[in-house]
Structure 1
Amino acid sequence: MNLELTDEQIALRDAARGVLSRFDTVAAAREALETPGTLPDLWPASVDAGWPGLVVAERHGGIELGLFEAMLVAEELGKVLASVPFIGVVPAAALLSLGDHPAAAPTAEGELRPVYVPACPPSPRVDDDVWTVDGIDGERIAAPVVHRDGSAWSVTGTVGWVPDAPGADLLVVVAIDDGRPVALVVDAGAAGVEIESETRYDATRRMANIHLDGAVATALSCSEQDIAGAWYSAQALLAAEAVGTVDTCLALATAYAKERFTFGRAIGSYQAIKHELVETLRRLQNARALLLNVGWAAGAAPDDVSMAASAARYSSGQALDFAARSLINVHGGIGATWEHDAPLYFRRAQLSRRLVGGVGGAADRLADESLARARRAVEAAGVR
């Protein structure tokens, strides 16, 4: 495994940082909480930077980079709490490209904005083929279902809390057709489609509950492995975004610990503060190492991506929760007030860890994968 970024990856990361530096996204996050609906539209900047086409094949006009490169951009977005439609767009663009859909090219150009409507693959530990989605009330429910009438396809079902869904032109929906998963393309403005926008807790995260009632759909020629891969790509992107936010939390807390004095000493010299900052750093480094593992697996060991992405999602989610709380703790009383931006990072941490199956779901997946592999190893060895 090469732990060093290539020159091209460094250029991509630095370019993303440069694009985002043109916007005061943290101030926009604060303003959006006080005045809902005021977030700046960063989609044009995203299009100019080529992000919609990052993982789209060159034959469709995309850049044809990999998951790891997309994760580098997601990390930069997380550092500044940017409200760029990215988590939902990248997996959708990948499925459109893999399925050679006509919308892949306009997606790469930024003329169309698709959104991934996610469904979680079945557990390898449980003997069933149930794909599930986030329900509106927080429970896991069955994925939408396909109906066929000759050559006509339609889809019915509800998926809750879909990132980046408001304003999307196309929905790339994972649904069930005769017990098997299929990726469908649905026009967001079609009859039978309701996109119910939601803003909860973290105003920088555009989300929607999606209701489908016999919506006309077309199927993508994607394999079950491709469809499952989209889920794990979303997990990895959320992990990378979280790592970026942890990085910022640590930087802000460390800077304040150096400049804030009490009893004649910088508070960073006190053991309690030192321990908190070091623990944040430890969690950050652990999560970043697991992100590198996702990048390696995506290129060299596709069968390991599910475990790698789940481990990264869990570790980064836990790290962000700790880092956001620590940022408030280090700042003391002011850290819990609107005099400081620390609550914005806490809000991001608490909402992000619940999206797309949640950090708990990633932990369950990791445990299930580990147990399933252990069982196969035992069976292969003939141990009883």
Structure 2
Amino acid sequence: MDLSLTDEQEFLREAARGALARVDTVAAARAAIEPAGSPEHAPLPDLWPTVVEAGWPGLLTSEDGGGAGLGLYDAILVAQEAGAVLAPVPLVSVLPAATILDAAGDADSAAAAGGELRVAWVPAAPPTDLDDRWTVEARSGVRRGGLPTGVLDGDQVTLDGEVAWVPDAPNADRLLVIADVAGTPTAVLVEAGAAGLTVEDVTRYDATRPLGHVRLAAAVGRRVDADADAIGRAWHIAQALLAGEAVGIVERLLPIAVAYAKERHTFGRAIGSYQAVKHHLVEVLRLQENAKSLLIYAAWASEHAPEQLALAAAAARSGAGHALDYATRETISVHGGIGATWEHDAPLYFRRAQLSRRLLGGDHGAADRVAGELLAGVTPA
């Protein structure tokens, strides 16, 4: 099997890198976390025009649906580039939504793929061996919430419920909510300004990840004709995209840490010559390569073995999340005192790691899904 990138994928990656280089997004991340009203504070740059110009909302939408018709690995490559520079681009929100609309052959699929509509997916996790419900993020605690409930009347659905920590919800034109309608997971498209819909803008740890608590009180939306498989696939795609972001950050940080370990001297020797430092940096490399392999598995499963996508995407999310957490901590450690100050970029990446590991079920939820998928086929002795 040839695992090298195609010429088209190389071009896509370089194009993404070039598009994101137009704005110093790392500096913007630093300014965004400064207290509002202080001279150092600045709002995040709006990269949505860049996202639309690059065609990223339609990466996973079929050509018939108005998109580029590319594969999951192509989207992962873009996610890696975005993660490496902490770019506030909503891939983990708009791409899962676009796949649901595309699978349904929805009338708004082309507009979402082209970026005319900014549709934010309201995440819903398929059942696992530990919880046989479709679940959503809760505001606090480890117990996940149940889906919002919906009452169907023709193509209109009246929604009630709450979903917390929804990526990109404050910036969306429409929300794609997954609701329990008569016991069936159902995708519902709701206008951002609809009566009964409230989006509470929240910021935690990483200011480059806009989040919102979504409340629905008799909010009315339009049913999207997507089945449970398409709705579940969106969850697994989002897991893979988060993993891609994580790998992009690790690939960015490791060379920085290695370079500093070569130039920083103590007791007359470069700190990189000490085994304690070398071994930790090698472990970052090992975790990085392991996560990259799992990303390839997830992309392959998406195209060739959809029945394995749940396992592959969860494994990639778990492995990449561990790599990111370890790499950000080691980058701070290698840099010593300077690594823990705002003069260095390392704390900004650490903040991204700590938020990412908690989103969309968290790294622990991905690990639980891996265990459940693997044990499902085991016959007790």
Q: Which range, TM-score by smaller chain?
A: over 0.9
Match of 2:39 in 1: none
Match of 2:117 in 1: 112
Tell whether 2:159 aligns with 1:159: no
Q: State the secondary structure of the residue aligned to 1:59.
A: coil
Moved more, 32-41 or 259-268: 32-41
Q: Is the 8 A contact 2:155 2:222 kept in 1?
A: no
C-alpha distance in 1 between matches for 2:296 and 2:227: 26
TM-score, scaled to structure 1: 0.95
Q: Compute the displacement of 1:61 (Å).
A: 2.1
Q: State the secondary structure of the residue aligned to 2:166.
A: strand
CA RMSD of aligned residues (A): 1.4
- Counterpart AA for 1:197: D
C-alpha distance in 2 between matches for 1:180 and 1:352: 29
Q: Compute the displacement of 1:35 (Å).
A: 4.5
Q: Is the 8 A contact 1:129 1:179 kept in 2?
A: no
- Counterpart AA for 1:214: A
Tell whether 2:26 aligns with 1:21: no
Write out aligned runs for 1:292-331 (5 A).
Answer: 292-331=296-335
TM-score, scaled to structure 2: 0.95
Q: Is the 8 A contact 2:157 2:188 kept in 1?
A: no
How many residues matched?
A: 375
C-alpha distance in 1 between matches for 2:156 and 2:258: 59
Match of 2:207 in 1: 203
* Alignment match of 2:151 (pick from 139, 147, 152): 147
Distance 1:22 1:365, change over 3 A: same
C-alpha distance in 1 between matches for 2:61 and 2:188: 17
Q: Is the 8 A contact 1:99 1:220 kept in 2?
A: yes
Deviation track 1:56-109 (CA, whole Å, cap 9, x = no partner) reads 221232111121111110011111111112110100011111112222111122
Q: Is the 8 A contact 2:83 2:249 kept in 1?
A: yes
Write out aligned runs for 1:331-350 (5 A).
Answer: 331-350=335-354
Q: Is the 8 A contact 1:52 1:89 kept in 2?
A: yes
Tell whether 2:134 aligns with 1:131: yes
Q: State the secondary structure of the residue aligned to 2:90.
A: coil
C-alpha distance in 2 between matches for 1:129 and 1:273: 45
Tell whether 2:99 aligns with 1:94: yes
Q: Compute the displacement of 1:2 (Å).
A: 3.4
Q: Is the 8 A contact 1:53 1:64 kept in 2?
A: yes
- Counterpart AA for 1:262: T
Tell whether 2:43 aligns with 1:38: yes
Match of 2:271 in 1: 267
Q: State the secondary structure of the residue aligned to 1:339.
A: coil
Q: Is the 8 A contact 1:86 1:164 kept in 2?
A: no
Moved more, 325-334 or 258-267: 258-267
Q: Compute the displacement of 1:281 (Å).
A: 0.4
Structure 1: state its 5+ residue gaps: 379-383
Distance 1:151 1:240, change over 3 A: closer
- Counterpart AA for 1:80: V
Deviation track 1:129-181 (CA, whole Å, cap 9, x = no partner) reads 41111111243110111113455321111111011111100111111112121
Q: State the secondary structure of the residue aligned to 2:216.
A: strand
Structure 1 residue runs of 4+, over 4 Å off?
Answer: none
Q: State the secondary structure of the residue aligned to 1:344.
A: helix
Q: Is the 8 A contact 1:258 1:267 kept in 2?
A: yes
Q: Is the 8 A contact 2:149 2:181 kept in 1?
A: yes
Tell whether 2:287 aligns with 1:283: yes
Q: Percent sequence identity over matched residues?
A: 56
Q: Compute the displacement of 1:43 (Å).
A: 0.6
Deviation track 1:210-265 (CA, whole Å, cap 9, x = no partner) reads 01111112121212111100000010000000010111121211111111112222
C-alpha distance in 2 between matches for 1:11 and 1:89: 22
Deviation track 1:264-312 (CA, whole Å, cap 9, x = no partner) reads 2211111111011000000000000000001111111110000000000
C-alpha distance in 1 between matches for 2:52 and 2:357: 27
Match of 1:224 in 2: 228
C-alpha distance in 1 between matches for 2:213 and 2:355: 15
Deviation track 1:23-68 (CA, whole Å, cap 9, x = no partner) reads 1111011000114561100110111100011112212321111211
Q: State the secondary structure of the residue aligned to 2:169.
A: coil
C-alpha distance in 1 between matches for 2:20 and 2:185: 37
- Counterpart AA for 1:188: A
Q: Is the 8 A contact 1:170 1:188 kept in 2?
A: yes
Structure 2: state its 5+ residue gaps: 37-41
- Counterpart AA for 1:47: V
